[in-house]
Amino acid sequence: MGQNYFQDRVVVVTGAGNGLGRAHALAFAAAGAAVVVNDLGGGRDGSGGSAGPAQQVVDEITAAGGRAAANTDDVSTWDGAKALIDQAVEGFGGLDVLVNNAGILRDRMLTSMSEAEWDAVIAVHLKGTFGPARHAADYWRQRAKSGLPNDASIINTTSPSGLFGSPGQTNYGAAKAGIAGFTVIAAMELWRYGVTVNAVAPTALTRLTDDLPVVHEMAQTVDLAPDGVSPVVLWLAGPTAREVTGRVLAVIGGTIAVVEGWAYGPEVHSDGRWTPQRLDAVLPDLLANAAPNADVTGHRPAQ
C-alpha cells in the first residue's frame, strides 16, 4: 500500500467511540485520512446517549495532528444515516470509505427474548449498516453518472456469531448473518460504480465481549486487542484490494481466514415430484454425506 494512499481521503466510521470502531478511526487518521467519527454515545445495550465518546476520539486524532469530526447521529434511522454521510461530503468534500461498525448487545435465550430486545439489535446492526451504505451508494452513483471516477470502499462488520452460531444471540446472530448476505449482494450491485464491499468478522476483546468467558479465555493466549483488526480494514480500503469485493475475512489475533459462504453439498434429483415417503429413502444418506456445519470456532468438526 502506498504510504500516502489515505492522504486527503475521507472515511466514515460508525460506532467509533469505543472498541473496534475507535481503533479503526485512529488507524485511518494516522494513515492521513480525514475521519468522521460516528457514535451515539450510548451503553453497550444501546441505552442513553452522549457526545463524549465520539468527541474524545476526535480529540485524540486532532491532538496527534490529524483531521476528524464528531457525529452523534443514530445510524439506525434513515435521517440519521443520511445526515452522517452528508456531514462527510459537506465537511470534508467527499467520501471514499465507509466502515459500518455500530452495534449493541441484548443477549437473551430465544424463550426469554422480548420484542424490544430483538428490534433494537436488528435496528442498530442491520438497518444501521443498510442506512449509511444506502446513502453513501447514492453519493457514489451520482458521481459515476456525472462521469467522475470512484475509488471507494464499504467495509461492514459481521461476526462469528452470525456466521457459525452462538446460543443466546438469535437477535445479534441474525443481524450479523444478514450483514454478511448484504455484503455479498451490495458488492454485486456497486461494482459498476467503482465501489468494493467487503466485511470483517473480528474476534476482539471490547466492551461488547468483555463479559464473555470464552473471549477472555482466548485472550490468555491470543492478542485480541481491537487495534489488531484495523490493519485488515485499512487493507480492504486500500489499493491492493481494488479487485477484492464480496468477501468476508475473519480476524482472530494474528490469524486471518477467508470465510467461504454457503454452497451446495451433496445433491439428489428426481424427475417426478417428491413425497415424504420417497424422501425417507434418500434424505438420511444425503445428510449423512454432507459436511457438518462449522462450530463456533469457524471450523468443521472432525467426521
Q: Return the minimum-mean-pLDDT range out of 162-171, 200-209, 213-222, 283-292.
A: 213-222
Count of C-beta atoms within a 10 Å radius of residue 63:
8
Residue 273 CB partners (closer than 8 Å, separation 6+): none
Closest alpha carbon to 132 in 121, 140, 142, 120: 140
Residue 38: enclosing H or E segment and its boundaries? strand 34-38
Q: Name the packing angle between helices 19-30 and 52-63 (round to 10°).
A: 30
Segments making up each domain of the chain, as ranges = 10-259
Instruction: Give me the count of residues in the chain.
Output: 303
The CA-based angle 244-250-254, given to 5 degrees, is 110
Dmax (CA) for the chain in angstroms is 71
Instruction: Determine the 3-state secondary structure of 229 from DSSP.
Output: coil
Residues 41 and 51: beta-carbon distance below 8 Å: yes
The residue-averaged pLDDT of 120-131 equals 97
| pLDDT tens digits, 83-92 | 999 999 999 9
Banded model confidence at residue 253, pLDDT cuts 50, 70, 90 = confident
What is the C-alpha separation between 144 and 115, in angstroms, rounded?
A: 41
Residue 219 has pLDDT above 60, yes or no: no
CATH level 2 (architecture), domain 10-259: 3-Layer(aba) Sandwich (3.40)
Confidence of residue 225 (pLDDT cuts 50, 70, 90): confident
pLDDT single digits (tens) 145-185: 999 999 999 999 999 999 998 889 999 999 999 999 999 99
Q: Where are the beta strands (DSSP E) in 175-215?
A: 195-203
Q: Which residues contact 75 (CB under 8 A, 6 or more apart)?
A: 14, 38, 40, 81, 84, 100, 102, 124, 128, 131, 132
**Beta-carbon neighbour count of residue 78 at 10 Å?**
14
Neighbours of 80 (CB within 10 A): 18
Residues annotated catalytic, as ranges: 159, 172, 176
Q: pTM score, two decimals? A: 0.91
Cell numbers at residue 144, please? 459515476
Q: Which of 206, 210, 211 is nearest to 226 (CA)?
A: 206
pLDDT at 203: 87
What distance in Å separates the CA atoms of residue 160 and residue 255, rounded to the nearest whole number?
14
DSSP letter for 302, please: P
